[in-house]
Chains A and B, each alone.
Chain A
Amino acid sequence: MASLRCFLRSGKNAVSAGLRREFHRTPPAAVQVTVRDALNQAMDEELERDERVFLLGEEVAQYDGAYKISRGLWKKYGDKRIIDTPITEMGFAGIAVGAAMAGLRPICEFMTFNFSMQAIDQVINSAAKTYYMSAGLQPIPIVFRGPNGASAGVAAQHSQCFAAWYSHCPGLKVVSPWSAEDSKGLLKSAIRDDNPVVFLENELMYGVPFEMSEEAQSKDFIIPIGKAKLERQGNHVTLVSHSRMVSLCLDAAAVLAKEGIECEVINMRTIRPLDAEAIETSIMKTNHLITVEGGWPQFGVGAEILARIMEGPAFNYLDAPAVRVTGVDIPMPYAKILEDNSIPQIKDIIFSVKKTLNV
């Protein structure tokens, strides 16, 4: 339903755009799809495909989702498959894990991952570790999803990035999509995965439209968990990023290109397991590495990438120390000017590239 509405809405734009452009261009069977709609499609398709899949969380049913990600699903699938919960994260996350233990395939939504801290024991101790502790007797096919990281003006308690926290733990897979295609393909993979997956979305990306290829529109389109994607080829420096920061890296790359600096931009897509090979291959070409993330620097995603590069074959190819661009090491302030200066901006990436390249 949601996909049809979206198609009709965006199809108009695509058709007129096609007519405006040159006729010899490949006519896009591609459409513009927002990240929100992509996530909605993914859940809709997986709910339809497997009746053991269900969604629970606060406001996911009758409210259509706090961020409207689950719009239309309750109308279509009803109370049994789309469940509104009381505001009790520890309780409903535990219930979701228990349901997964007994044969269902829950999608457990946290309104934001900040609230997942109340339930983090269930995610780590009940979900992540059980398959190991039971020596293979008890798998937990569950997805924990929701917006992660900084939003806009929501202040310290609602802006933390949990990528590093969850990626620390064996037994979890941690996914952080950027584009609409990422969101759809990775969420479908996560739901089909027989293991606990933490799916980190980004509220500021929900409304952003991306071109979605015909292939990506198919009901069986999945993106494998654990593989990064090269978003932009370049020779001078490797920028590794995830989620919204990928947009900033591409914007910075566009600016730098005008000065003759070609950045290679890697979209991690998955944080755990980390696709170190993709990063190493890139470094062996560019000889320079900068990681870009929204989270705090200490013990963060960038810290892990740098450690791995030090320990791996790519170290010998570095012509300069690898560095990290991260959020500022403070709780997130409220005032716009302060908030803007708490997370990486395009100019910070450009500055870091030039410092690394010594230009």
Chain B
Amino acid sequence: MTLQSLNRFFFYKLYSVVVSARTYADFTPQATFDIKKCDLHKLEEGPPLQAVLSREEGLQYYRTMQTMRRMELKADQLYKQKIIRGFCHLYDGQEACAVGIEAGINLSDHLITAYRAHGYTLTRGGTVREIMAELTGRRGGIAKGKGGSMHMYTKHFYGGNGIVGAQVPLGAGVALACKYLGKNELCVCLYGDGAANQGQIFETYNMASLWKLPCIFICENNKYGMGTSVERAAASTDYYKRGDFIPGLRVDGMDVLCVREATKLAAEHCRSGKGPILMELQTYRYHGHSMSDPGVSYRTRDEIQEVRSKSDPISMLKDRMLSNNMASVEELKEIDVEVRKEIEDAAQFATTDPEPPLDDLCNHIFYNDPPMEVRGTNPWTKLKSVS
């Protein structure tokens, strides 16, 4: 090693020591931020107008949102390379919703959503590796390659549901089980602005309210149900009011702190036995409805660009933390590098892991049953199915 490189080496080591020393002494451990006031429906009090964010929390939210963002962008890339196929509904732009909600509940609570589910699979305990391998249909996928983009499950996370609106009664059913079993858990039940007009959702509002189920209904309003803007789909776009007899609040879904505080309020409401509550998160998706939708025939590129520059959830958090000296630029950059590496590794795994074995084709039809025979494509083909 040359003297020069040695010097550089020691300088770097010294610098990183200095950086770590800065961690404890020079960064602000926590700060209070103003958050937008929520519109309320049949609610006396909304969430507080200020949120306290600790440095650890901030770094964690940042890392998770960045991981989500990069994961979705990598999925975009893999889809265009035809390594991911079928449906792929990306979540970039909406990260503050998933992260903010999880910050307001516990892992022991329950959550169910529709098909734009990769972000929630992550916040509910899935790893990037198993999510990506599921998208590429490999045996290391979170559902062993049998579910795909819309059917990912983890503990207390019930997917990933392909039929618009069907997840809402399911979520209320989970909430019924929570109440029945008496463990003080609740269920977060998500749907989009497009689904919000579904009849079964109103049926669910009725029963959840009658039976006081501990259910937080959350409408992620990203302004477009596929290619139909909310004004063209709903006679009333005040989604937070559509629960009628259910109290509701409209929340800035681009601000992770706003989402968190609203979720905390909603969770408190449910846990105190008051029954369901409804939150509308106003958010935005950068991608089209799915990978087969360029997303610009029903909205302008200017609109997308404006949201990106003015309301991006990750930028918002980053600016807050930097301007309050809660983290350094380098530190956040380092997180970015780590995240990028994690995504690269996951993508590498997802593209090299083998596909599921053909033996697995007929498995998982029934649970806890003896092995059975399944008819193949012709009468002579008898396939085996185990639980």
Binding site for B on A (CB under 8 A): 54, 80, 83, 85-86, 88, 90-104, 121-122, 125-126, 130-139, 141, 170-171, 173, 194-195, 273, 311-312
- Of chain A, the residue at the smallest CB distance from B171 is A98
B210 within 8 A of A: yes
Whether B204 lies near A94 (C-beta < 8 A) is yes
CB pair A88 B178 closer than 8 Å: no
Q: Is the CB of A132 within 8 A of B364?
A: yes
> What is the minimal beta-carbon distance from A224 to any residue of chain B, in angstroms?
11
> In chain A, what residue has the closest Cβ to B366?
A195
A139 adjacent to B204 (CB under 8 Å): no
Supply 25 A–B pairs (Cβ within 8 Å), ascending by A. Answer: A80-B180, A86-B206, A90-B199, A90-B200, A91-B172, A92-B169, A95-B173, A95-B204, A97-B169, A98-B171, A98-B172, A98-B177, A101-B174, A102-B110, A102-B174, A126-B161, A133-B143, A134-B147, A134-B159, A136-B364, A137-B143, A171-B365, A171-B366, A195-B366, A273-B372
- Pick the contact of B177 from A83, A103, A311 — CB < 8 Å? A103
Q: How far is the CA of A131 from the CA of B365 in the complex (A)?
A: 6
Cα distance, A97 to B171, chains bound together (Å): 9
| Chain B residues, Cβ within 8 Å of A195 | 366-369
Number of B residues contacting the other chain (C-beta, 8 Å)? 49
What 0/1 readout, one digit per residue, does chain B (147-176) give for beta carbons within 8 Å of chain A? 100010110001101110010111111111
CB distance from B91 to the nearest CB of A (A): 20
Chain B contacts of A80 at CB under 8 A? 180
With known contacts A91-B200, A94-B200, A170-B365, A135–B207 Cβ distance under 8 A: no
Q: Check if A91 sits within 8 Å of B204, measured CB to CB.
A: yes
Question: Are the C-beta atoms of A92 and B365 separated by less than 8 Å?
Answer: no
In the complex, the answer to whether B169 meets A91 with C-beta atoms within 8 Å is: yes
A94 in contact with B172 (CB, 8 Å): yes
Which 4 interchain pairs have the tightest Cβ spacing?
A98-B173, A94-B169, A91-B203, A102-B177
B207 touches A86 (CB 8 A): yes
A102 to B155, CA, bound (A): 10
Check if A95 sits within 8 Å of B207, measured CB to CB. Answer: yes
With contacts A88-B203, A104-B177, A126-B161 taken as known, whether A194 is within 8 angstroms of B368 at the C-beta atoms is yes
The closest CB in chain A to the CB of B162 belongs to A125
- Whether A94 contacts B166 in the complex (CB less than 8 A), given A80-B180, A88-B207, A131-B367, comes out as yes
Interface centre among B203, B210, B372 (most CB of A within 10 A): B203
> What residue of chain B has the Cβ atom nearest to residue A311's Cβ?
B379
Nearest-Cβ distance from residue B299 to partner chain A, whole angstroms: 30
Report Cα–Cα, A176/B171, bound state, in Å. Answer: 30
Interface residues of B in 331-371 (CB under 8 A from A): 363-369
Q: How far is the CA of A84 from the CA of B170 in the complex (A)?
A: 18
State whether the Cβ of B181 lies closer than 8 Å to any Cβ in chain A: yes
* Least CB separation from B385: chain A residue: A170
Assess whether B173 is in contact with A138, with CB atoms less than 8 Å apart: no
CB distance from A221 to the nearest CB of B (A): 20
Q: Any chain A CB within 8 A of the CB of B16?
A: no
